């Protein structure tokens, strides 16, 4: 798959002296949904704003579809659409005028058919003559997307599209984003909701304290990190693992009152049935059995812990 955005050795030090981005290297593939996941203050907005030309990089290079965001500013600006974290619109303007005007700002010729199609796609067509102040929160968010799409960008950035949005609206937003992907737009969204990255993304990048610490296909990431444990509470503490069981990768808890078997929950044959049979032949008895799954939430917390 071809690359539509590449970031090379990007650093950002704010005027305060605070370094918000540390040597970022990242490639985004054409047509994918990439979720940039990280806790508050990680640098997500700074990174997006640097790509969109709102924040000046301290050094490094950003290329969008072959164009340098600094030397070829006009070209990259028209390739990019941004839905910023803070929503701002003119409350007394109509939906239609807002989106149409936004297109004009990019120097594009008017295209009422395209604006109509965009508003329909975002379920805003019947609100086209409404003033913005009469829209619900969800409609306002969709309007921001329509505005960002007005000049037909190839790459759309959504900075925390569902922060503070209720569950239904969030699902609605996810639906809209999937729909956009189907129209061929590359989508980069930031979120601090793990669930959102899990639900939406083809690939996930985890950013923490200005550094990208992981980029991985979502399914690979979940597989790699989606380990499960079978925990067996022993009747009597054991000194060591009995010889017939050494072929199993078993571990003790520190008190040696539990045997722990770690397995890949995504595999059909996880070995549990055979292990239990072997334990039984070895004459081992247990008080209790339970399982423990490292959730993505735990993994995330582990990765970004201070």
**Least distance from ligand ADP to the Cβ atom of residue 158, Å:** 12
**Least distance from Mg ion to the Cβ atom of residue 197, Å:** 14
Q: Does 18 bind ligand ADP (CB under 6 A)?
A: yes
Residue tagged 């812990």 (tokens): 305
Q: Which residues pair with 131 in a beta bridge?
A: 94
The dihedral through the CA atoms of 131, 190, 216, 271 has a sign that is negative
**Beta carbon nearer to ligand ADP, 53 or 226:** 53
Q: Does 42 bind ligand ADP (CB under 6 A)?
A: yes
Can you tell me the distance from the alpha carbon of 256 to that of 251, in angstroms, rounded to the nearest whole number? 9
Return the ∠ at Cα 200 (arms to 24 and 300), rounded to 5°.
55
SS3 string of 228-290?
A: EEEEEEECCCCCCCCHHHCCCCEEECCCCCEEEEEEECCCCCCCHHHHHHHHHHCCCCEEEEE
Tell which residue, 133, 129, 191, has the closest CA to residue 161: 191
Report the residue from 20, 50, 79, 155 that binds ligand ADP according to the rule CB under 6 A.
Answer: 20
Q: Does 40 bind ligand ADP (CB under 6 A)?
A: yes
Can you tell me the distance from the alpha carbon of 91 to that of 131, in angstroms, rounded to the nearest whole number? 7
Q: Within its chain, how far is the Cα of 281 from the centroid?
A: 47
Contact between residue 115 and residue 102 where contact means Cβ atoms under 8 Å apart: no
Please choose, out of 40-48, 165-173, 179-187, 197-205, the segment that lies near ligand ADP by the rule CB under 6 A: 40-48
Residue tagged 């005027």 (tokens): 15
**Beta carbon nearer to ligand ADP, 41 or 137:** 41
Contact between residue 33 and residue 191 where contact means Cβ atoms under 8 Å apart: no
**Beta carbon nearer to ligand ADP, 46 or 98:** 46
Contact between residue 95 and residue 143 where contact means Cβ atoms under 8 Å apart: yes
Please choose, out of 35-43, 164-172, 196-204, 290-298, the segment that lies near ligand ADP by the rule CB under 6 A: 35-43
Can you tell me the distance from the alpha carbon of 217 to that of 223, in angstroms, rounded to the nearest whole number? 10
**Least distance from ligand ADP to the Cβ atom of residue 306, Å:** 13
**Beta carbon nearer to ligand ADP, 39 or 242:** 39
Binding to Mg ion by CB under 5 A, coded x per residue (else -) over 229-268, reads ----------------------------------------
Site for Mg ion in 126-155 (CB under 5 A): none
SS3 string of 18-32?
A: CEEEEEEEEEEECCC
Report the residue from 10, 36, 45, 188 that binds Mg ion according to the rule CB under 5 A.
Answer: 45
Sheet holding 67-68, edge to edge: 19-29, 3-13, 59-64, 67-68
Q: Does 45 bind ligand ADP (CB under 6 A)?
A: yes
Report the residue from 5, 33, 46, 147 that binds ligand ADP according to the rule CB under 6 A.
Answer: 46
**Beta carbon nearer to ligand ADP, 98 or 191:** 191
**Beta carbon nearer to ligand ADP, 65 or 160:** 160
**Beta carbon nearer to Mg ion, 158 or 284:** 158
Which parts of this chain interact with ligand ADP (CB under 6 A)? 14, 16, 18, 20, 38, 40-46
Which parts of this chain interact with Mg ion (CB under 5 A)? 44-45, 85
């Amino acid at each position: 798959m071809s690359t539509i955005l590449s970031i090379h050795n990007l650093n950002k030090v704010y005027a305060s002296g605070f370094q918000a981005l540390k040597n970022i290297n990242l490639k985004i593939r054409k047509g994918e949904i990439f979720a940039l996941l990280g806790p508050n203050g990680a640098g997500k907005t700074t990174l997006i704003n640097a790509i969109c030309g709102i924040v000046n990089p301290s050094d490094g290079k950003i290329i969008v579809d072959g164009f340098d965001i600094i030397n070829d500013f006009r070209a990259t600006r028209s390739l990019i659409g941004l839905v910023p974290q803070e929503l701002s619109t003119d409350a007394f303007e109509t939906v239609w005028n807002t989106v149409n005007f936004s297109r004009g700002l990019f120097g594009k010729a008017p295209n009422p058919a395209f604006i109509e199609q965009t508003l329909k796609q975002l379920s805003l067509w019947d609100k086209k003559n409404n003033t913005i102040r009469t829209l619900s929160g969800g409609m306002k968010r969709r309007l921001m997307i329509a505005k960002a799409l007005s000049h037909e960008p190839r790459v759309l950035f959504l900075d925390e599209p569902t922060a503070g949005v209720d569950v239904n609206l969030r699902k609605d937003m996810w639906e809209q984003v999937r729909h956009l992907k189907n129209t061929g737009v590359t989508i980069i969204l930031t979120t601090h909701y793990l669930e959102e990255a899990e639900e939406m993304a083809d690939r996930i990048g985890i950013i923490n304290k200005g550094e990208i610490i992981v980029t991985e296909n979502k399914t690979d990431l979940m597989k790699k990190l989606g380990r499960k444990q079978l925990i067996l509470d022993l009747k009597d503490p054991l000194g060591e693992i009995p010889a017939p069981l050494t072929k199993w990768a078993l571990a003790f808890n520190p008190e040696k009152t539990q045997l722990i078997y770690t397995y890949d929950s995504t595999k059909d044959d996880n070995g549990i049935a055979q292990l239990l049979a072997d334990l039984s032949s070895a004459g081992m008895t247990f008080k209790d059995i339970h399982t423990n799954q490292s959730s993505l939430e735990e993994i995330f917390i582990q990765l970004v812990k201070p």
